[in-house]
């Protein structure tokens, strides 16, 4: 056992070391790669978030300036005189904190009193607002005046205000210029509201994703209009002093931004590799970008290298510990097998021994025990299966016995019910026969029985004999022989609907002479359907008999009416009706709502079977609540099949 353990320890140690070393190296490589991608993705998201926030703030400033300018234009156009121009220029700057200056300039020689030029200009100086009439200069060729005049529409422009005036805004200006028109549509001047880009740069630089990141904004020509290096503003473009061979990344970035595209890229700007995220400024031809140096973006990634060396040391230690644990547990399967065999020896077969892929002695021993246990479980399973099958057959036999007992009980109950239903009219007939015999002498003379009494006796005997005949007919009708013989005898009769209805009413009148039956029909007397007259008659008789027996005996209505595809016979009465829960049960053979009531429980089931045999159906109308309404529906073109 000691030699086996040594052999196992050598093989296992070598295998673990050979397996763990490449996995560990690959894992570290994947860790570095994924970490770099994750850090860059996080940096892009972080930079875009700050860029979106700054762009929204910039758009709010521009929108506020546009809204304030547009809302005052109509007032300026309506009162375009020098004094009003000074007042409106002052009010726009004073009442809108986003506006740093406002110029309202008139066309040449519009106000001869002031000469060729007249321009009212207001500038914000700290907390104060000052308004002056600008010194005469050729402002007609300035971009803030020329662009809206040539385009005849509002626009944003950027320019460097370097005129020698009494009041000036420091640095570059972003100006929203809008043309002014007289009531007849004549161009009369331009209003331009200014925003100091230096102040805007300071506002934008307050929020940065990294300590040395910064914003830059260029116009459609690539000129810098926002940049931390003020010497570049309006004097240099993003393409200035750029070697196309060495700085293709900056050239591509410049083209992307001047074309108004959105995205992010890596570029070497000012000799520093940086992440650049850019977006166009809505409503303008400018593009805003945020520049984040890679040294700050990947600072966390570089710190990761300081973790790698301790991680390598810890990994080697873990591998050594794992090898030691593996060697000490090499013979553990033998201990497990010993414990499981003891459990089996105690009689517990619910033990699982897995098969081993090892080719050494321990692996073969484990597989031998697994095969032995599998064979034992197979034989035990066969015994359990045989026992289970026996129990199942016993249960099925018990159920069959219960079904036979139930069938015998139902047979006994049916025979008793038939005997009772037949015995009652027979007893009546026999009793009245005995009465007649006693009241007649052997020589044929009567002994005190009146004609009225004789008539009543004869009617009672006739009524009960009809009941017997009806019950016998239903018993015959319920058999397969009765069904097939009647159907073969009258398979395709042309039956007048009204005639068969009157015949059914006449039959009911024989049993219930005092019954009031109302007949209604919307079909002519010569209207016929191809069906079995006997079956239709029996169906109508049974449901009318049921209505006559269980209703108040005064309000029974038989209706015949035609639908596009069928003929319908409805029988309704006024009485206690049938509970809705019993609607399906009353059409089952030998079922009665009241076990003490007269009948065999065959009438309505036979009527439904007859209707279905004729290709139709018998249903009870659940929407009728004054008693009971049965509906017999037969197809107009009936191609019934022969019942077997």
Output the pLDDT for position 240: 81
Q: What is the DSSP letter of 587?
A: G
Query: At 430, is the pLDDT very low, low, confident or very high (cuts 50, 70, 90)?
Result: low
Q: What is the mean pLDDT of residues 204-221?
A: 82
Confidence band, pLDDT 50/70/90 cuts, at residue 363:
confident
- The whole-angstrom separation of Cα 440 and Cα 509 is 31
Mean pLDDT of the chain: 77
**Reduced to 3 states, what is the DSSP secondary structure of residue 523?**
coil
Interatomic CA distance for residues 463 and 549, integer angstroms: 14
For strand 272-280 and strand 119-125, is the pairing parallel, antiparallel, or unpaired? unpaired
- Of 28-37, 247-256, 419-428, least confident by mean pLDDT is 419-428
Give per-residue pLDDT as tens, 103-127. Answer: 999 999 888 888 888 999 998 887 8
pLDDT at 61: 84
pLDDT for 31: 75
Q: Looking at residue 167, what is its pLDDT?
A: 40
pLDDT band at 557 (very low <50, low <70, confident <90, very high): confident
Do residues 19 and 321 lie in contact, with contact meaning Cβ atoms separated by under 8 Å?
no
Is the pLDDT at 277 greater than 80? The verdict is yes
Residue 13 has pLDDT above 80, yes or no: no
Whole-prediction pTM value? 0.46
Confidence grade of residue 161 (pLDDT, cut at 50, 70, 90)? low
User: Does the structure show a pLDDT above 70 at 439?
Assistant: no
Residues 85, 81: Cα–Cα separation, whole Å? 6
Q: Considering only 114-123, 340-349, 446-455, 548-557, which range has the smallest mean pLDDT?
A: 446-455
Residue 154: per-residue pLDDT? 92
pLDDT of 424 reads 66
What percent of the chain has pLDDT above 70? Answer: 71
Q: What is the mean pLDDT of residues 339-361?
A: 70
Round to the nearest angstrom and report the end-to-end CA distance of the chain.
84
Least confident range from 14-23, 73-82, 170-179, 464-473: namely 464-473
CB environment 565-585: b (16+ within 10 A), e (fewer):
ebbebbbbbbbebbeeeeeee
Q: For residues 322 and 66, which has the higher predicted lDDT (pLDDT)? A: 66
**Those residues with Cβ within 8 angstroms of residue 384's Cβ, 6 or more apart along the chain or in another chain:** none
- Helix/strand/coil percentages in the chain, nearest 5: 55, 20, 25
pLDDT number for residue 639:
45
- The string of pLDDT tens digits covering residues 441-462 is 444 445 556 667 776 777 677 6
Give the pLDDT of residue 1.
Answer: 40
């Amino acid at each position: 056992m000691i030699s086996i353990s040594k052999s196992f320890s050598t093989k296992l140690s070598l295998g673990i070391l050979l397996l763990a070393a490449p996995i560990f190296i690959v894992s570290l490589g994947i860790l570095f790669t994924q970490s770099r991608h994750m850090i860059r993705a996080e940096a892009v998201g972080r930079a875009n978030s700050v860029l979106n926030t700054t762009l929204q703030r910039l758009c709010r400033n521009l929108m506020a300036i546009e809204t304030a300018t547009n809302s005052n234009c109509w007032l300026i156009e309506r009162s375009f005189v020098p004094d009003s121009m000074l007042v409106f220029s002052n009010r726009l700057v004073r009442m809108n904190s986003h506006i740093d200056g406002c110029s309202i300039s008139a066309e040449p020689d519009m106000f001869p009193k002031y000469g060729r030029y007249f321009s009212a200009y207001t500038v914000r100086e700290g907390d104060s607002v000052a308004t002056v009439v600008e010194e005469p200069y050729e402002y007609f060729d300035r971009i803030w005046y020329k662009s809206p005049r040539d385009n005849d529409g509002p626009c944003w422009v950027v320019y460097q205000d370097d005129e020698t005036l009494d009041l000036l805004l420091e640095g570059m200006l972003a100006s929203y210029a809008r043309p002014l028109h007289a009531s007849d549509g004549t161009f009369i001047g331009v209003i331009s509201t200014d925003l100091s880009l230096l102040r805007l740069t300071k506002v934008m630089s307050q929020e940065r994703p990294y300590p040395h990141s910064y914003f830059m904004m260029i116009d459609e020509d690539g000129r810098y209009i926002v940049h931390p290096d003020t010497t570049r503003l309006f004097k240099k473009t993003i393409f200035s002093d750029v070697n196309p061979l060495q700085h293709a990344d900056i050239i591509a970035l410049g083209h992307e931004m001047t074309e108004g595209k959105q995205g992010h890229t890596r570029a070497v700007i000012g000799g520093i590799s940086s992440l650049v995220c850019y977006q166009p400024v809505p409503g303008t031809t400018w593009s805003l970008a945020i520049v984040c140096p890679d040294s700050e973006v990947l600072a966390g990634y570089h710190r990761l290298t300081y973790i790698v060396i301790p991680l390598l040391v810890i990994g080697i230690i873990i591998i050594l510990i794992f090898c030691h644990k593996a060697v000490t547990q090499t013979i553990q399967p033998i201990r497990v097998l010993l414990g499981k065999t003891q459990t089996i020896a105690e009689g517990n077969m619910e033990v699982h021994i897995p098969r081993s892929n090892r080719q050494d002695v321990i692996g073969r021993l484990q597989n031998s025990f697994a095969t032995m246990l599998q064979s034992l479980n197979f034989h035990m399973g066969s015994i359990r299966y045989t026992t289970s099958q026996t129990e199942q057959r016993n249960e099925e036999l018990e159920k069959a016995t219960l079904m036979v007992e139930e069938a015998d009980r139902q047979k006994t109950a049916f025979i008793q019910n038939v005997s009772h239903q037949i015995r009652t009219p027979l007893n009546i007939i026999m009793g009245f026969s005995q009465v007649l015999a006693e009241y007649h002498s052997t020589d044929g003379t009567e002994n005190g029985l009146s004609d009225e009494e004789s008539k009543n006796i004869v009617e009672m005997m006739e009524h009960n004999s009809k009941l017997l005949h009806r019950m016998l007919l239903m018993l015959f009708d319920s058999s397969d022989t009765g069904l097939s013989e009647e159907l073969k005898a009258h398979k395709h009769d042309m039956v007048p609907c009204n005639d068969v209805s009157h015949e059914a009413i006449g039959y009911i009148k024989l049993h219930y002479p005092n019954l009031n039956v109302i007949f209604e029909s919307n079909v002519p007397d010569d209207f016929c359907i191809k069906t079995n007259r006997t079956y239709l008659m029996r169906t109508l008789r049974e449901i009318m008999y049921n209505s006559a027996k269980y209703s108040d005996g005064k309000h029974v209505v038989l209706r015949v009416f035609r639908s596009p595809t069928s003929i319908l016979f409805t029988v309704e009465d006024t009485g206690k009706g049938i509970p809705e829960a019993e609607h399906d049960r009353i059409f089952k053979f030998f079922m009665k709502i009241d076990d003490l009531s007269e009948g065999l429980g065959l009438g309505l089931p036979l009527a439904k079977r007859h209707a279905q045999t004729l290709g139709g159906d018998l249903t009870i109308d659940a929407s009728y609540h004054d008693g009971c309404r049965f509906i017999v529906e037969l197809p107009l073109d009936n191609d019934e099949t022969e019942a077997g």
